[in-house]
Amino acid sequence: MKSKNLQRQVFFFALINYMGTAIGIISALFIYPLDFAFSGTIKYIDNISQLLYPIMVLGASHALIKFYPALTEEKQKQLFNYSMVSVAMVSGITLVAIALFNTATGYKDAALVYFAFPVALSLAFIDLFRKQAQDLQRLAVPTVFEKIIPKITLPALFLLLIGGYFTLSTSLWVYAGAYLLILVLTAAYLFTHFKPGFNYRFKTLFGQISRRDYYRYSLYAFAGSVGSLLAFRIDGIVIYNWIGEEANGIFGNGSVLASTLQIPAVGMFALYAPLISKHLQENTLGPLNMKYKEIARLLFFIGALMYTCIFIGIEDLFSLLPSAEKLMLTVPVIFILGFSVLINMATGFNTEIITYSKYYRFNMVAILLLIVVNIGLNAWFVFVAKMGISGVAWASFISMLLFNASKLIFIYKKFGLFPFDSAFGKLAVVFALTGVGVYLLPDSGSHLINLIYKCGLAVVLNVFVAYRLKLVYQVNVWINKAVMKVVGQR
């Protein structure tokens, strides 16, 4: 029964994430281009809040997951209460630090940082409550609140602002209020199913778990969270401050559309995480290496298929939409960041291999490398090369390339594992040749016909060649099953 409930939760979790992504894509195509300046401002507030909230949590949510199973029910409730008090205290200190920073520096956009604070505070408690809901295997409903409400609120604010019903300030307050609403709904749902009580005497808690181990793990989790966010969220802060709010909106829109490529990878990595951990614990590296190569080829096949369609058809697609002129500004960003996502998919589950091994600390080293390189390249491309948001996209691409290369080299040296083989090379050549070949075919004069026939031809050619040459095991399995079903029905 417990297993069925878990499977149901996983299914709904994935479904909700896909629904949120679909809403985000529709908004990015039809609504956000209507006001890239407002989009850039919202993206900046979001990035600031995403950097603040891990500071407020300070690893408490990860520690809740780590130490929860080893505790009695009473101590589990104590740990949750301790985590809430910790988040509240650190959040207060963070607010004081923000006020001191803004006063000392006279930062021109200090008001936006204050708008980011309630968002960050909400995210901090939402993260903690979500982890507790995860322990209870009741993650689907909180995920609905977190993934759907912002995706609906933001496009609605765009339309109200553009229509003259809201001012900019009102829109920002409502945006912050949406996260406070998510917090209230998440808390209400959690406390319906979990009664932590009011036991705030924590001395007995650390009699059952080591205080030193708790703080060490919390600080490591905090460093990992902040490092990842600095590495992957720095673009929005750099562009807003160094180029401008409208440029930040354009880049953000391109980033949203490019990131859709990685949707299959997220689910795949989550699915194979327990298997990777098991192989590493049992030191069965031969089967792990085979699975490493197999999944790398599959993810590259899926990603390359999607990227080829984007490369060939995105300009025709945008030409059919109302905001075609503004959407065209995002095309270079989509091409560059999309290729970066493709490379990340092609390297397979290298992060998971390191995370579940005894060398898990290397992820921190790789992330620090990514931060330093990314900031340095951003500065060079913006101030020296004068390449604007395209330069920021190239900085992100090069940084991710080095990030993944460092992990591949480390994994090969420590485990002798490598995701690439001759079949992977053949697959890359197939996609390169078909992509360029179809792209160079003559246009029909109709954007819609171009989109259908060129993307359709590229998909058919790549799938056919991959199937005939047996380059991706899962593709052959899926096609053979489909053929058998069709033949069986006849």
Q: What is the pLDDT of residues 424-468, one digit of tens each?
A: 999 999 999 999 999 999 988 899 999 999 999 999 999 999 999
Q: Is the pLDDT of residue 281 over 90?
A: no
The pLDDT, as a whole number, for residue 134 is: 73
What average pLDDT does range 291-318 have in this prediction? Answer: 92
What is the spatial distance between Cα 116 and Cα 51, in angstroms, rounded to a whole number? Answer: 10
**Helix (H/G/I), strand (E/B), else coil: 212:** helix
Map tokens 């408690």 to a residue: 125
pLDDT higher for 425 or 4? 425
Nearest alpha-carbon partner for 268 in 305, 295, 286, 301: 295
What average pLDDT does range 380-399 have in this prediction? Answer: 92
Query: Residue 138: phi, psi to the nearest 5?
Result: -130, 60
Map tokens 């708790």 to a residue: 214
What is the spatial distance between Cα 110 and Cα 105, in angstroms, rounded to a whole number? Answer: 9
What is the spatial distance between Cα 32 and Cα 322, in angstroms, rounded to a whole number? Answer: 12
Sign (positive or negative) of CA dihedral 62, 67, 68, 73: negative
The pLDDT, as a whole number, for residue 212 is: 83
Q: Is the pLDDT of residue 2 over 60?
A: no
Task: pLDDT band for 389, please (50, 70, 90 cuts).
Answer: very high
Write the DSSP assignment of 330-395 as a string of letters: GHHHHHHHHHHHHHHHHT-SHHHHHHTSTTTTHHHHHHHHHHHHHHHHHHIIIIIS--HHHHHHHH
What average pLDDT does range 285-289 have in this prediction? Answer: 89
The pLDDT, as a whole number, for residue 1 is: 45
Q: Is the pLDDT of residue 341 over 70?
A: yes
**Helix (H/G/I), strand (E/B), else coil: 478:** helix
What is the spatial distance between Cα 455 and Cα 38, in angstroms, rounded to a whole number? Answer: 33
Task: pLDDT band for 270, please (50, 70, 90 cuts).
Answer: low
The pLDDT, as a whole number, for residue 222 is: 80
Task: pLDDT band for 223, please (50, 70, 90 cuts).
Answer: confident
- Helix (H) / strand (E) element for 458: namely helix 447-468
The pLDDT, as a whole number, for residue 390 is: 93
What is the spatial distance between Cα 347 and Cα 99, in angstroms, rounded to a whole number? Answer: 43
Nearest alpha-carbon partner for 255 in 422, 90, 69, 32: 32
The pLDDT, as a whole number, for residue 116 is: 94
The pLDDT, as a whole number, for residue 98 is: 93
Q: Is the pLDDT of residue 334 over 90?
A: yes
Map tokens 């005497």 to a residue: 201
Ranges 49-58, 261-270, 445-454: which has the least confidence: 261-270
What average pLDDT does range 415-424 have in this prediction? Answer: 92
Ranges 156-165, 285-294, 367-376: which has the least confidence: 367-376
Percent of the chain at pLDDT exceeding 90: 47
Which two three-digit tokens encode residue 320?
């059919």
The pLDDT, as a whole number, for residue 488 is: 67
For 169, half-sphere exposure in the C-beta direction (CA atoms, 13 angstrom radius) is 1
The pLDDT, as a whole number, for residue 314 is: 93
Q: How far is CA 54 from CA 222, 229, 305, in A?
A: 6, 9, 36
Q: Is the pLDDT of residue 309 over 70?
A: yes
Percent of the chain at pLDDT exceeding 70: 92
- Cβ-Cβ contacts under 8 Å for 136 (sequence gap 6 or more): 190, 193, 194
Query: Residue 220: phi, psi to the nearest 5?
Result: -65, -45
Residue pair 57/128 in contact (Cβ under 8 Å)? The answer is yes
